[in-house]
Amino acid sequence: MGLKDIDNKWFFTELSPLFKIPGFFVKGDLIILLPLLIAILLIGFISLKFMFVTLGVYITIRHLGEMIYWFSHQFNARTYRPDDMGFKKLDNHAIYILYQTLAIVGTIVGLSIVAYSLLYLK
C-alpha cells in the first residue's frame, strides 16, 4: 500500500490492545510514531541512559496529548465511541474519562522513567 492509497477508513482503524501499550491507537499513528519508537530503541545501542530519557519523554508527551484529546472531547458532542474496553453499560462520556485517566497513568509513568534515568542511571 502506497501513501496515495491511504484513506480515512484505513487511517482511523483501531488497533489491537497490544499496539496500545506503546501508544498506537489507530493505524494512522503507525505512520509517524512507529519509526520514532524504533529510533528511540536504537538509541539504546549508543546510550542506554539517553534511550530511557527519550523513551520517558515519548511516553509523557504521547499520553499528555491523549489526556488533552479526551479531555476536550468531554466538552463536545459525544458521538464518537472508542473501544469501550468491555464496559458496555457506560456511556461515551464515561469512556472518555477512562481514556483520560489512562493517559494520566501514562504521563506519570513517562515522567517517572525520565526522573529515574536522570537521577540513577550512570
**pLDDT reported for residue 85:** 84
pLDDT band for 6, please (50, 70, 90 cuts). Answer: confident
**pLDDT reported for residue 74:** 82
pLDDT tens digits for range 50-74: 999 999 999 999 999 988 988 888 8
Q: Would the pLDDT of 4 be above 80?
A: no
What DSSP letter does each residue of 20-50 carry, written as one string? HTTT--BHHHHHHHHHHHHHHHHHTTT-HHH
Q: What angle do CA 109, 113, 116 make, to 5 degrees?
A: 130
User: Where do we find the cell 488533552?
Assistant: 68
Q: Would the pLDDT of 122 be above 80?
A: no
